[in-house]
């Protein structure tokens, strides 16, 4: 059984994926649709919406940080899933509400579940570099 925090991160990733593909549609609208698909889990969805909202509010600075940390990769060339996993991971590293190793491990877990075969290593490397740059590791 997955922890609520882990489920929330997965739902936040799904919201961000839909947000990006649907041309930045309102998160509340996307959350309603996701709730219909995944079932009503208010605690999970509320936390997912909060995470996704945090990403949307800071997307430009998150993208800038991800671009600087991902050597030889432009954000536009990254898959939508990996780009949003990085955004979530960077947000959690910045917020400092969870230990940095937890934020990185959870992002890598999302990359295993939703990303390509190289995604976990890529996400781990980028977030580790950012955590060190932020003085969190």
Q: Please list the pLDDT of the chain residue by residue as tens digits (137 residues).
A: 789 999 999 999 999 999 999 998 888 888 888 777 777 777 888 999 999 999 999 999 999 999 999 877 788 788 999 999 999 999 999 999 999 999 999 999 999 999 999 999 999 999 999 999 999 88
39 sits in the region (left: phi over 0; alpha: psi -120 to 50; else beta) called left
Query: According to CATH, what is the number of the domain 4-133?
Result: 1.10.940.10
Q: What is the DSSP letter of 76?
A: G
As a whole number of angstroms, the distance between CA 122 and CA 59 comes to 20
Whole-model pTM: value is: 0.92
Q: Give the number of residues written for the chain.
A: 137
| 72 contacts 52 by C-beta, under 8 angstroms | no
For 18, other C-beta atoms within 10 Å of its C-beta total 18
Per-domain boundaries in the chain: 4-133
């Amino acid at each position: 059984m997955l922890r609520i925090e882990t489920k929330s991160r997965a739902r936040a990733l799904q919201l961000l994926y839909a947000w990006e593909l649907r041309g930045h549609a309102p998160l509340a609208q996307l959350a309603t649709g996701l709730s219909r698909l995944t079932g009503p889990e208010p605690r999970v969805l509320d936390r997912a919406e909060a995470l996704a909202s945090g990403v949307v509010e800071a997307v430009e600075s998150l993208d800038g940080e991800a671009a600087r940390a991902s050597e030889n990769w432009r954000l536009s060339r990254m898959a939508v899933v990996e780009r949003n996993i990085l955004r979530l991971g960077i947000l959690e590293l910045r917020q400092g509400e969870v230990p940095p190793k937890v934020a990185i491990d959870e992002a890598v877990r999302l990359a295993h579940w939703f990303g390509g075969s190289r995604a976990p290593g890529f996400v781990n490397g980028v977030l580790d570099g950012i955590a060190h740059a932020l003085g969190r590791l």
